[in-house]
Amino acid sequence: AQSVTQLGSHVSVSEGALVLLRCNYSSSVPPYLFWYVQYPNQGLQLLLKYTSAATLVKGINGFEAEFKKSETSFHLTKPSAHMSDAAEYFCAVSTNSNYQLIWGAGTKLIIKP
Amino acid sequence: EAQVTQNPRYLITVTGKKLTVTCSQNMNHEYMSWYRQDPGLGLRQIYYSMNVEVTDKGDVPEGYKVSRKEKRNFPLILESPSPNQTSLYFCASSPGVLAGGRETQYFGPGTRLLVL
């Protein structure tokens, strides 16, 4: 069975600082990994995804994530936080044999001025 | 504009009063899904549909019904709502399942339901 763990329900960073949101997964088969973002009062939208091509994946708004098989991780980073990045971020996993997405609990990113 | 729409966006109802939340997509997607989002629990899948007339239970189907009579529509029905169904509901769609689990899901704006 697959599962996703996001470390930290809330992460607070200063504007201009590095953003690091952690995601660890478990899967017995090669996974597909996703980061979705939910801005206040909106639905979720795809930020980036890993589908077994390059391990470093670049997404929208300057975010990127690196798939590390040995660490079963897919952490999300952005070099310099902007106020507009304040949102909730969800990590999710699926596989080729099970297209259902398994979701993490979400991490709310707070940007301090 | 390609989109998933949900109606209503906000709904307050009373225990036992049947309600339907509509979901429609204009992208000719085969796969559609309903989720509920609760604080600290992330998204939990209620039901999904792989195509017209093909639906299946997700992780938390109790108290919900769905139907898929047309490709574009996937309504969520609460026959007898209870307070524990107070939640934020999202409909999502994706192109299909031939590409396996790598497909991106496209989400509606959400429906916030309060059951008194």
User: Which residue numbers of A have CB closer than 8 Å to B's CBs?
Assistant: 9, 32, 34, 36, 41-46, 49, 51, 90, 94-101, 103-106
Segment A92-101, tens digit of pLDDT: 998 766 668 8
Which residues of chain B neighbour A36 with C-beta distances below 8 Å? 107
User: Contact A21/A81 with Cβ under 8 angstroms?
Assistant: no
Is the Cβ of B41 closer than 8 Å to some Cβ of chain A?
yes
Which residues of chain A neighbour B42 with C-beta distances below 8 Å? 90, 103-106
**Average pLDDT of every residue of chain A:** 92
Q: How confident is the model at residue B6 (pLDDT cuts 50, 70, 90)?
A: very high
Q: Do A100 and B58 touch (CB under 8 A)?
A: yes
Residue showing tokens 């201009």: A16
Segment B40-63, tens digit of pLDDT: 888 999 999 988 999 999 999 999
**% of residues, chain B, pLDDT over 70:** 96
What is the CB neighbour count within 10 angstroms for residue B42? Answer: 19
Is the Cβ of B14 closer than 8 Å to some Cβ of chain A?
no
- Residue B15's pLDDT is 97
**% of residues, chain B, pLDDT over 90:** 83
Q: Do B101 and A101 touch (CB under 8 A)?
A: yes
| Distances A30 to A5, A57, A97 between C-alpha atoms, Å | 17, 16, 10
Closest CA to B78 of B11, B21, B9, B2: B21
Segment A58-76, tens digit of pLDDT: 999 999 999 999 999 999 9
